[in-house]
Chain A
Amino acid sequence: MIENANGPIWRLRNRRETLTRWFVWLLGIAIFLWCWQQISDATTWFFVWDAPNIASDILGRATPPRWSYMDNLWVPIWDTLNIATLGTIGALILAVPIAFLAARNTTPSTLFIRPVALLIIVATRSINSLIWALLLIAIIGPGVFAGIVAIAIRSIGFCAKLLYEAIEEIDQSQVEAVTATGASRWQIMVYGIVPQIMPAFAGIAVFRWDINIRESTVLGLVGAGGIGLQLQASLNTLAWPQVSLILLVILAAVVISEWVSAKVRGAII
């Protein structure tokens, strides 16, 4: 509230808040300008001013797509599908025990085992699948198998995180009812907990499969199999008509997998 000759005037904020806000904004803008300066220094502006010409040139070369190249793409598409699906299955097999160890109500030890499980979840989640693929190619050699393992490791964190949140949100009274019948630890798990998280589990699996289809299309860029290998080869030989065809195929794969996943999740939930 600020008073003037005609009485108090309504203001959104008082003077001190306004000043603090201005200062924070000033600091933010300064940081942004410094960042922009860094980017600008590292840029060859001559190329940037030439960009419209280059873009139209590339577009001219890339159209129309070379449809006959499609014959070479069916095997990579099959490989891509396998990387995503087998990777997702592998991830789920590994994620289920980790999720049970990480959930507060099922973990054997909150003090020792839960932090380890949470660490695995964070570590696998924060590193991109392309980096996992790079690492695995250095270790086990290029190919589809490296892609499957990369997708599997990358997906553990995501699946385990969503799954352990689902486990923590279960209805405890059902578990108690099963316990009251004298069930063993495993029987409680199978009859009390698993039926409650099954819909969430199926939803997570399909959701992650959709994301993995996206990711496996580009894994080939670093040599981990799938359609990305063809993309990389076409880019290296500047075969733009092939590049545009591959991009169209990837786009179609992404749209189809999203549609399938939405349908299946709609059916489950």
Chain B
Amino acid sequence: MNRGPLGELVRLAMRLVPALTAVFFVLLGAVPLGLPGFATVGPLFSLCAIFFWTVTSPNLLPPLVVFLVGLIEDSLSGGPIGLWAVIFLLVQFVTISQRQVLVGIRFLLSWASFILVCYLAGLAAWGGASFYYGHMLPMKPIMVQSTLTLLAYPAVAWLLILCARKIVSSG
């Protein structure tokens, strides 16, 4: 590995990869795909990214970055500002509290633990949005979104594992 200024620059860039991928997945979720009804319940890719990086290398995804990613998600989705920002922080908090159990386990187990995180985040979002709008919103769309997020997790994790390997190899 290059130890000169270029190498330092590469290492610095690699440290930004978790934050950049999280933002990338927020943007990906907002790209119009033209599939009827899909946009409403499309997977929350950013939640997958936050869970993945919190388990693998939480030091590269500080709470402030998680909060900002949530704010971008709120801003693009047009929902209550701060809703996903707070929920992403809660997800990070819960995941870090269980990290000792989650690190090093098989992928299937990690995926299974994401089920809980995913549905709890969905429930919290539903509760927060219902409170914000002053009445009970339909629960079905958020549950469908949580399920699709869950199904999208292996694909997102596969991409992020490739990124994580690059980070490790860059030193």
A binds B: no
Chain B residues within CB distance 8 Å of chain A: none
Binding site for B on A (CB under 8 A): none
